[in-house]
Amino acid sequence: MGILSNALSNATHQIMPQRKASSVTLASGDPDLLAAISRCKKLLNRRALTAAVASAVPVPGLDWAVDAALMSKLIPEINAQFGLTEAQIEKLDPAKREKVQKAVTVVGTMLIGKLITKDLVLTAAKTVGVRMTAKTAAKFVPLAGQAVSAMIGYAAIRYFGEQHIADCVRVVQTAQLRLPAAA
C-alpha cells in the first residue's frame, strides 16, 4: 500500500497545476455569489461521488464515459447558477452580452456560454488527462488499485468542477453580471 500511496501523491503533485484562488475567495463575501457557489459545490460533490463509484468498477473505459457524461450535465448546471448558459446570455441586452463575451475571453474558459457536448468536455478534460490515465492504470492492481482509482476519479472531477466554478465567478465579476434568482 505504501508504494501506491507514494505513486498517487507524486502523480497528484506533478499533475495539479498551481492552484488558482478558490471560488469562495474570489467571491469576496458577496452573499449572492457565495450562495451560487454553495449550490454548485453540492452538485459537484454528488457528481464526484458518482465518478468515484464508476472509477472503482474494473471495466476499462467505463470511467471515462461516465466522467464525460457527468461533466456534460454538470457544467451547464453550474453555468445556469451564474446566468452563463448559452440561452441566458442570449437574453441579455447586446451591451451586457458583449461584456460577458469579453469576460469569457479574458478568463480563458471554453465552457461558458456554449452548448456543452461530451466532445467539448473531453477536450477541456485534457487538463486532468494524466490523472485519468493513472486512474485507469490503477485498476489493474486488485482492490487497492480500485480504491486508488476511485480516489483519483473523485479528485479529478472535483478539481475540474472547482476550476469551472471559479471561472464562472471571474466572468460574473468581470462582466458585472447579476446572478439569476435561485431556483
Q: By C-alpha distance, which of 108, 25, 6, 121 is closest to 75?
A: 121
Q: How far apart are CA 135 and CA 147, in angstroms?
A: 10
Helices (H) and strands (E) in the chain, counts: 9, 0
Banded pLDDT at 1 (limits 50, 70, 90): very low
| Residue located via cell numbers 507514494 | 6
Burial 166-176 (b: 16+ CB within 10 A, else e): bbbbbbbbbbe
pLDDT tens for residues 94-152?
999 999 999 998 888 877 877 666 666 666 666 555 445 555 555 555 556 677 777 87
Angle at 160 (CA atoms; ends 157, 164), nearest 5 degrees: 135
pLDDT tens for residues 143-181?
566 777 778 778 888 888 999 999 999 999 999 999 998
> Cα(first)–Cα(last) distance of the chain, in Å?
45
Backbone φ, ψ for residue 143 (5° rounding):
55, -65
